[in-house]
Amino acid sequence: MAKIIQESIDLKPESISKKDITIAWLRWYYANEIPHSFDRYLAASLMWGLMPILKKLYKKKSDLAEAYQRHLLFFNTQLTWGGGTISGIMASLESIRASEVHQEKSISIDDDLIYNTKAGLMGALAGIGDAIDSGTVQYIFIAIALPWAQQGLAIGALFPFIAFVLYQLFVGYYFAQLGFRLGRNAATEVVGNKMQMIIEGLSILGLFMMGILAASYIKVSSILKFNLSGKDFIVQEILDKILPGFLPLLVVMGLYYYFAKKGLKVTRALVGLTIILGVWATIEYLLVEYLKVIS
């Protein structure tokens, strides 16, 4: 009897702490793209991240092997918003399942529920994470660092990378802890009203930063000028009085319209823009020379 009791104690799942969730998040962060494969994508990264937690939960080798297999099915999501949240949720679900297995209760957290939870969240959270992290935040850091880079300071090149890494570490840590604390309800919190307000605010800020970049670092100007009744008219000065940065804005909006209609064909857009600007500059130059002759 004592032996059976001791075996039950030895096989009892250990409690999962914040430190365990942090380690799981950091392991996922580190291994995110390392074992990337065609059939499993990032599943091995998530499984490796969860390994210390699974070892604390499942003391029988057969149960542990089954847990590993559960997390080696196809998985692909964004690093922080998706990976952070899902790694925390998976730790929460596995903790409940391990307790049920140990107590020999009916398994409510079965394999299908665990995988369907991952499959249902990985795409939705990846869409949010890509839009915020890759589509907004990193460009804000780049915009901040551009003046330093123009001055030849090394911090201009290093700041965006360092700041983005620190941002991702913090955000992923927060979502991993949130996922573990709230379990499957964490997804509701991530896409809830408060988070949507933050996302909208970041998107607006990102648009402002893109506008600042377009106005400050895209240089397009006109050399066209002419003389009427002894008075010089310089087209660029007239445009600046009407709407400063009109020509750079025109170029940016033209590229945006092209990408919206034709897709993100960057090389074709660059070649086309070079040709258009070259023809435009040639026409302006010929007009200036012609106006000189007739005046």
Q: Decide if pLDDT at 3 tops 50.
A: no
Q: Per-residue pLDDT averaged across 153-180, rounded?
A: 91
| 56, 82: one domain | yes
What b/e readout covers 262-281, taking b as 16+ CB neighbours within 10 angstroms? Answer: eeeeeeebeeeeeeeeeeee
Q: Which of 112, 91, 82 minimizes the C-alpha distance to 22?
A: 91
Range 64-93 average pLDDT:
91
Query: pTM of the entire structure?
Result: 0.68
118 and 200 housed in the same domain: yes
- Contact, 181 vs 154, CB < 8 A? no
Residue 293 has pLDDT above 60, yes or no: yes
Residues 102 and 39 in one domain: yes
Of 153, 184, 212, which marks where a domain is finished?
Answer: 212
Are 206 and 224 in a shared domain? no
Give DSSP secondary structure letters for 68-127: HHHTTS-B---TTHHHHHHHHHHHHHHHHHHHHHHTT---SS-HHHHHHHHHHHHHHHHH
* Residue span of the structural domain in which 253 resides: 220-294
DSSP H helices, 103-233, are 111-129, 138-150, 155-182, 186-190, 193-217
Regarding whether 38 and 133 lie in a shared domain, the answer is yes
Lowest mean pLDDT among 72-81, 119-128, 204-213: 204-213
The answer on 280 and 254 residing in a single domain is yes
Tell whether 208 and 113 lie within a shared domain. yes
Looking at the structure, tell me whether residues 193 and 272 fall in a common domain: no
- Of 212, 242, 267, the residue at which a domain comes to its end is 212
What phi and psi values does residue 17 have, to the nearest 5 degrees?
-105, 175
Helix (H) or strand (E) holding 225: strand 225-228
Nearest Cα to Cα of residue 156 among 138, 167, 143? 143
Instruction: Answer whether 29's CB lies under 8 Å from 79's CB.
Output: yes
What angle in degrees, to the nearest 10, is found between the helix axes of 111-129 and 61-70?
Answer: 40
**Interior angle at CA 72, CA 60 and CA 103, nearest 5:** 30
Residue with tokens 């009892």: 12
- For residues 44 and 179, membership in a common domain is answered with yes
The total domain count for the chain is 2
Token pair in block for residue 216: 């400050």
Q: Say if residues 133 and 80 touch (Cβ distance below 8 Å).
A: yes
Q: What pLDDT does 6 receive?
A: 47
91 neighbors 20 (Cβ within 8 angstroms): yes
CA distance 211 to 41: 36
Range in 6-10, 68-72, 126-130, 182-186 the model is least confident about = 6-10
Q: How far apart are CA 248 and CA 281, in angstroms?
A: 14
Q: What are the CA-CA distances from residue 182 to residues 32, 88, 153, 177, 225 (Å)?
A: 23, 9, 44, 9, 66
Same domain, 36 and 152: yes
Same domain, 172 and 224: no
Give tens-digit pLDDT for 6-65: 444 567 888 889 999 999 999 999 998 888 888 889 999 999 999 999 999 998 899 999
Query: Of the residues 212, 244, 259, which one is the last residue of a structural domain?
Result: 212
Are residue 143 and residue 199 in the same domain, yes or no?
Answer: yes
